[in-house]
Amino acid sequence: MDPYKFRPSSGFDTTYTTTNAGAPVWNDNEALTVGSRGPILLEDYHLIEKVAHFARERIPERVVHARGASAKGFFECTHDVTHLSCADFLRAPGVQTPVIVRFSTVIHERGSPETIRDPRGFAVKFYTREGNWDLLGNNFPVFFIRDGIKFPDVIHAFKPNPKSHIQEYWRVFDFLSHHPESMHTFFFLFDDVGVPINYRHMNGFGVNTYTFINKEGKSNYVKFHWKPTCGVKCLLEDEAEVVGGKNHSHATQDLYESIAAGNYPEWKLYVQVMDPDTESRYDFDPLDDTKTWPEDLLPLQPVGRLVLNRNIDNFFNENEQLAFGPGLVVPGIYYSDDKMLQCRVFAYADTQRYRLGPNYLMLPVNAPKCALHNNHFDGAMNFMHRDEEVDYFPSKHDPLRHARSTLSLTVSSAASARRLPLESRMISSNQGSFTVHGLLIGKSGSSKGG
């Protein structure tokens, strides 16, 4: 074993107990004392290390989606969608991409019952050849609010009363009564689908509006839908009380045991697609996440399938330290001007930096499986070996260059310009206005050729 290339792994375990530094431990049953009944000695390094580490085993839990379970598998593209997106993992039918998926409840703590009436999170991390793409959603197609500035408020309303730490629905109804747009999601929550029977038998939705971009640079709005091949099943209130009373981790156990038995959960991925230049034809805002898109006007188009065929190896490493963020996109997929999505792009990455540290994307479960290179150096718990002498850009002493875009871009309007990825547009200040590829856009959003 090359000691300079060694990475911590249980595959290198010894057959005897050691300290974290690798020194042998002669006695892991008794502390070092003065005599058989004397006081414990501070020089018992292993005792201090063992107890100190134990006191630090837990990390800050997620403010939302704290209770969850994960599994691994693959996504397979089954239909040609190259006319919609130039994403590499969608390049052809039959292409498979490794994934990890985390299902969760939203409001309550890490050890709360999985039978609570609550939206369920449905987050998928695609390890593509062009970087990681995180698709985060819920089992409802809509959300309570349409503006990210209200996100702390809606979560506070659903969380337990800060005085008694009891969840009380008068607080929920009070908040929602001030936001009539929330009624759409409210009816999903208090419908039969409010308590899924487990994670395998529930839908998933991207909720927010994203953008597909093809190799010609044409962009389209897109909504994502996951449909379970085993169908949707839910619990009635009295059934949920019985199931939760017997096993508060029933959904986690069901997922784990189903995969272990070879009964692999599977979902089909569909998209709804809208040309942004035609959005004025519809009587709803396609960027409003409290609205669904009518399927008779914008039908579901099949894309691929998701199969979970491996259980995680370690719950802490691959569930608690698993970090998702909608800011992680790949070429061919981008954000829209959906205000909730725009807020989530910042908020999710920020919460992971708080929970896990600035280098959370170095953790194996979060790290990309492709090559990467930037000048993000140092920071707490940085364990990447680097031997470069240049940590700035540009430099004639370093071959690092800007990535080359594969898009053939054509910007026909200011609206189209706003939908393009940042790497494909130029924004410069001009006394309250900015220019995008020759278009002069003022603060009001109006544009004229320049």
Active site residues: 65, 138
HSE-up of residue 309 (Cα within 13 Å, Cβ side)? 9
CA distance 423 to 163: 48
Helix-strand-coil split of the chain, %, nearest 5? 25, 20, 55
Pairing of strands 219-228, 429-430: unpaired
What the block records as the tokens of 83 is: 């006319």
CA distance 213 to 83: 9
Q: If DSSP codes are grouped into helix, strand and coil, which group holds residue 104?
A: strand
**Dihedral sign (CA 230, 231, 237, 238):** negative
Pairing of strands 333-335, 433-436: unpaired
Q: What is the 3-state secondary structure (H, E, C) of 395-447?
A: CCCCCCCCCCCCCCCCCCCHHHHHCCCHHHCCCCEECCEEEECCEEECCCCCE
Give, in order, the Cα–Cα distances in Å from 229 to each of 103, 162, 365, 388.
17, 41, 27, 49
CA nearest 67: which of 236, 235, 255? 255
Contact by Cβ (8 Å): 328, 132: yes
b/e string for 69-102 if b means 16 or more Cβ within 10 A?
Answer: bbbbbbbbbebebeebbbbbbbbeeebebebbbb
Kindly give, in sequence order, each residue whose CB lies less than 8 Å from that of residue 210, ignoring residues fewer than 6 positions away. 221, 222, 223, 224, 333, 334, 335, 336, 341
* Greatest pairwise CA separation for the chain in angstroms: 89
Task: Please give the DSSP secondary-structure letter assigned to residue 33.
Answer: B
b/e string for 295-323 if b means 16 or more Cβ within 10 A?
Answer: eeebebeebbbbbbeebbeeeeebbbbbb
What amino acid occupies position 293? W
In what helix (H) or strand (E) does residue 217 lie, and over which residues does it extend? none
CA distance 119 to 138: 7
